[in-house]
Chain A
Amino acid sequence: MSSAGDGVSSAGDGVSSAGDGVSSAGDGVSSAGDGVSSAGDGVSSAGHLLEVTGLSAGYGIVQVLFGVDLVVDPGEVVVVLGANGAGKTTTLRAISGMISASGQVKFLGEPVLGRRPDQLVKRGIAHVPQGRGTVTSLTVDENLRIGAFVRSDDEIESDIEHWYEAFPRLGERRNQLAGSMSGGEQQMLAISRALMSRPKLLLLDEPSLGLAPLVTREVFDRLVVITESTSTAVLLVEQNANLALDFAARAYVLEAGKIVISGAAAELQGDAAIQKAYLGV
């Protein structure tokens, strides 16, 4: 348990050091950091990157979400926990515009509900869907390239090389079809591809799904490094509560389409009653 506590505090340190690093780092990553902080200063008085209020959504006549409220601050890692069918995936899909929803979603202080996913990518929301969503008939290289579709700057090539360095196995397989890679490799590719758009917010849907525990651990270890170095905010949805609480700073627990608990990840992790009642551990 103490090691888990360390994990939380170090994640917190990481976020703040990324903030410090904005002035000194002076590379491509720092400009993304500038964008986040300036937007945070200017647009919304509360400074939230993402502000979801009373979000309701469903599929056809089946309503899944009943007024979800949550916020994500710039550079913050937040996890939404909950059992199967609680509405975790639906929450992400509603935020990124993949399904229609009611309520309010503000991103950088502006209402974005009702916009198509591709319009939200331009504003800085990247979504790695459940099942990874790599384009299996394109090569690894093409997948990364397509991730930069909304960009037209001249740093795309160097960003691609950056991800090849971060994930050497992607580099080795750059000309291989994405569909022929292992689950863990595809997950790494999906995350790298989403980050190729240099998002301010990364929506991540069950990255552990279908992965062996060791591979899952590796993916999360990488995620920590990535979010700290790029100061990208993450809204993560996960069934693997312990792993996710290690990674996140704050957590929400979703039950039957409503948020029932919210708090610091370390608190949730330390509360045996909550663990037993909601997280099944």
Chain B
Amino acid sequence: MRDFLQILLVGIGDGAVYAMLGLGLVVIYRSTGLLNFAQGEMAMFSTFIVWTMWSIGLPMWLAILAGMAGGFGVGALVHQVAVRPVGDPHEKPLAVVIVTIGLFLGVNGAAQLIWGTLDRSLPPLFGRGQVTVFGVAVAWQKIGAVIALSVMVLLFYLLFQHTKLGLAMRAVASNSESASLVGIPVPRLLMLGWGLAAAVGTVAGVFIAPNLGLGTNLMQLTLIFGFAAITLGGFDSLVGAVVGGFVVGALSSVMPRYITIFEKMPLAPAFILILAVLLFRPEGLFGKKQVTRV
């Protein structure tokens, strides 16, 4: 039982990071109506910015803020340069999604050019210590991840549900033409959405890099867990990203321990989950079912 709890808690700690990445995906989805396949790579890029700032002597928290600001800039720039010229995502969703796949490669290549292909090491923000709760050891780093995640969810919830700006972002995501006709400067809000999503990705990167090592492939597997998380939770739900992240983290940690076939296929639980959700509850646990009369 203790063994199970231990594995479960490790999984939930990982899940917090998946949830953060999922959060970035949800933010882009809610502000632009798109799935961004480059979300992981943008997060990787801004985590490298954090590393650079830290390695030239900035304190970690300042380096993270710089990385988030840099990430915001990258996200906004990516939107202006690569996404916006392609056209309205509502008219050509496929074209824009393919652009995000191209961005995946482009951002990765840019990171390799700037930082090379060697893995760097980023120290854990909350140190390597751990605390024992009911006989189960939990790393401070994982507790820190859960706290950081909670703060971000709360902030985004307040933004989307309780501010005029957030309402405008949701309107743009749902119907950019109508949003424009009520006076919302649509291009500026899309840019903001991309920037915010990239900034969130930075935090996910900062928490996962100490475990995996900071290389340009940092997010490639993690992103799949992030997608599984928001598929389960619902593409448009912040809470869904969190619950989905925890469930995916827990499943991916527990299942290989008890079902030997998953030991060699660590991604399989996430994949099975995506498939099951799409088959039985396509809108996810917390997603809004689209009801539209014509």
Interface, chain A (partner B; CB < 8 A): 96, 98, 116-118, 121-122, 126-129, 133-138, 142, 145-147, 149-150, 177, 179-183, 186, 193-194, 196-197, 210
CB distance from A194 to the nearest CB of B (A): 8
Stretch at the interface among B15-23, B45-53, B54-62, B168-176: B168-176
CB distance from A133 to the nearest CB of B (A): 4
Residue pair B183, A150 in contact (C-beta under 8 Å): yes
A179 to B288, CA, bound (A): 12
Closest CB-CB distance, A182 to chain B, in whole Å?
Answer: 7
Nearest to B189 among chain A residues (CB) is A118
Quick one: which of B168, B171, B179, B292 has the most chain A CB within 10 A? B171
Any chain A CB within 8 A of the CB of B211?
no
Residue from A134, A150, A196 within 8 A of B178 (CB atoms)? A134
| Whole-angstrom CA separation of A226 from B294 in the bound complex | 25
Q: How far, in whole Å, are A121 and B179 apart by their CA atoms in the complex?
A: 11
Number of A-B contacts (CB under 8 A): 92
Q: Is the CB of A138 within 8 A of B291?
A: no
CA distance A121 to B184 in the complex (A): 9
Contacts of B291 in A (CB 8 A): 177, 179-180
User: Given that A145-B167, A183-B293 are contacting pairs, would A129 and B182 also be in contact in the complex, using a CB cutoff of 8 Å?
Assistant: no
Contacting residues, chain B, for A210 (C-beta < 8 A): 294
B293 engages A180 (CB within 8 Å): yes
Residues of the A chain whose Cβ atoms lie less than 8 Å from the Cβ of B167: 138, 142, 145-146
B185/A118 in contact, CB under 8 A: yes
Residues of A within 8 A of B174 (CB): 135-138
Most chain B CB within 10 A, of A135, A138, A197, is at: A135
Interface CB pairs A-B, < 8 A, 22: A116-B185, A117-B180, A118-B182, A118-B183, A126-B182, A128-B181, A129-B177, A137-B174, A137-B175, A138-B167, A138-B170, A142-B170, A142-B171, A146-B167, A146-B184, A149-B182, A179-B291, A179-B292, A181-B293, A182-B293, A196-B182, A197-B182
Which chain A residues lie closer than 8 Å to B184 at the CB level?
A: 118, 146, 149
CB-defined contacts of A149 to chain B, threshold 8 Å: 164, 168, 182-184
Query: Does B290 interact with chain A (Cβ within 8 Å)?
Result: yes
Which of B171, B178, B291 gathers the greatest number of chain A CB atoms within 10 Å? B178
Q: Does B186 interact with chain A (Cβ within 8 Å)?
A: yes
A183 to B294, CA, bound (A): 7
Give complex CA distance A182, B167 in Å.
23
New A-B pairs, 13, CB < 8 Å, besides A121-B182, A146-B168, A177-B288: A98-B177, A135-B170, A137-B175, A137-B288, A138-B167, A145-B164, A145-B167, A150-B182, A180-B293, A181-B293, A183-B293, A193-B182, A197-B182
A133 touches B290 (CB 8 A): no
Q: How large is the interface on B (under 10, 10 to 19, 20 to 34, 35 or more residues)?
A: 20 to 34
Q: A135-B174, A146-B168 are in contact. Are A96 and B181 (CB under 8 A)?
A: yes
Report the minimum CB–CB distance from A204 to chain B (whole Å): 12
Inter-chain contact B292/A121, CB cutoff 8 Å: no
Fill in one digit per residue for B144-187: 1 if any A CB lies within 8 Å of its CB, else 0: 00000000000000000000100110110011011111111110
User: Closest Cβ of chain B: how far from A98's Cβ, in Å?
Assistant: 7
B33: nearest residue on chain A (CB-CB)? Answer: A137
- Shortest Cβ-Cβ A-B pairs, 4 listed: A121-B183, A150-B183, A179-B292, A133-B178
Closest to B289 in A: A177
Q: Complex: how many Å from CA A186 to CA B294? A: 10
> Beyond A149-B182, A149-B183, is A135–B171 a contact (Cβ under 8 Å)?
yes
Residue contact B185 to A133, C-beta cutoff 8 Å: no
Q: What residues of chain B lie closer than 8 Å to A122, measured between beta carbons?
A: 183
Residues on the A chain within 8 Å of B175, using CB: 133-137
Distance, CA A194 to CA B293, complexed state (A): 20
Q: Which residues of B contact A134 (CB under 8 A)?
A: 175, 178
How far does the Cβ of A226 sit from chain B's closest Cβ, in whole Å?
Answer: 17
**B residues in contact with A147, CB < 8 Å:** 182
Residues of A within 8 A of B292 (CB): 136, 179-180
**In the complex, A127→B181 CA distance in Å?**
6
Q: Which of A116, A121, A146, A194 counts the most chain B CB atoms within 10 A?
A: A146
Query: Closest CB of chain B to A253's CB: distance in Å?
Result: 26
Cβ contact within 8 Å between A146 and B293: no
Structural contact, A146 and B294, CB atoms closer than 8 A: no
Contacts of B293 in A (CB 8 A): 179-183, 186
Instruction: State which of B171, B181, B288 has its C-beta within 8 Å of the C-beta of A117.
Output: B181
- 0/1 string, B103-120, CB within 8 A of A gives 1: 000000000000000000
Contacts of B186 in A (CB 8 A): 118
A197 and B183 within 8 A (CB):
yes
Interface residues of B in 256-294 (CB under 8 A from A): 288, 290-294
